[in-house]
Amino acid sequence: MSKRIEMPGFIKPQLANLKSKAPKGDQWLHEIKYDGYRVQVHLNRGRKKVFTRNGLDWTKRFTEIASALAIQGEAIIDGEVVVVHGGRTNFSELQAELAAGRQGRLVYYAFDLLWRNGDLRKLPQIERKQLLLDLLGENDIELAVLFSEHLIGDGQKMFEHAAKLNWEGIISKRADAPYRSGRNENWLKIKAVQKGKFPVVGFVKDPTGVPALDLGKQEGNDLVYMGKVGTGWSRTVSSQIRKQLDTVVSPKSKLTKTIRKPKATWVEPRFFANIEYRDITSEGLLRASSFKGLSRKDES
């Protein structure tokens, strides 16, 4: 009689390499890229554990997801915990729910099965996904757990559709590849970015340039605060920005609603910053913003 293989502890997750375009061909499957927390669920004969991507035990934070996975025997499921807001996953909303200790809005998108009464990692991706779908279906698993659907074929079309819907992007996976911990070319991520022009309302000084710009947005008659940008320029460009903004310094903020920014030097909103960003948070601030250029109001 063969000896039963012991179920492993936390498995380092497989990670995706960033690419600018989605791959073509039927050897790839494409999933929505969810904006949440990567989570690995371990089900071991009634005992349940939930790990973050770094192996932290967050079982207590995700008890409702663990409870929804009423599966006998052994299984290790890989996926992403999200909050869906406005038709897409929203990381800021997720953080707010976790900070408040609430779980009612959390959803677990399961996208891979690493273990089912034995190691599945050597199986092709497409087979692991089918086994996961069968496992969830056979056990009548419902909310807060969903199967992460995929498309096979033209990933660029799916990416363009995702970008139009303001999703974060897509993950493309080799259908025939095994599961390999760490970052590799079998999983690729293609991110959608949003672009916009935002009036510069202030800046933070350093001796030669600007470590950060404060940005606003015109909403009707109101000029509202949109947060900071602090990346995307060289030291030379930082110095050029500073020279331009020094010509429009204002004694007070031009924002409609006063905000406390002790380090800010306020300016007349005569310059626009071209910004790429991932999202707008639930507080109305730009998330993951990057500076791409500066133009005068009369040039925009």
| Rg (alpha carbons) of the chain, rounded to whole number | 23
Active site residue 33: yes
Which residues are registered as beta bridge partners of 57? 51
Tokens 């025939």, residue located:
176
Separation of alpha carbons 115 and 93, rounded Å? 31
Neighbour-count burial of 35, counting CB atoms closer than 10 A to its CB (0-12 exposed, 13-18 middle, 19+ buried) = buried
Which residue among 3, 19, 33, 189 is the active-site one? 33
What is the b/e burial string over 64-78, where b = at least 16 CB atoms within 10 angstroms of the residue's CB?
A: ebbebbebeebbbbb
Counting other chains too, the contacts that 263-267 makes at CB distance below 8 Å and 24 or more residues apart are 263/204, 263/205, 264/202, 264/203, 264/204, 264/214, 265/202, 265/203, 265/204, 265/205, 266/201, 266/202, 267/200, 267/201, 267/202, 267/203
Closest of 216, 213, 222, 223 to residue 199, by C-alpha? 216
Q: Which of 31, 37, 51 is nearest to 94 (CA)?
A: 37
> Concatenated DSSP letters for 140-197?
T--TTEEE---EES-HHHHHHHHHHTT--EEEEEETT----SEEEEEEEEEE--EEEE
* Active site members: 33
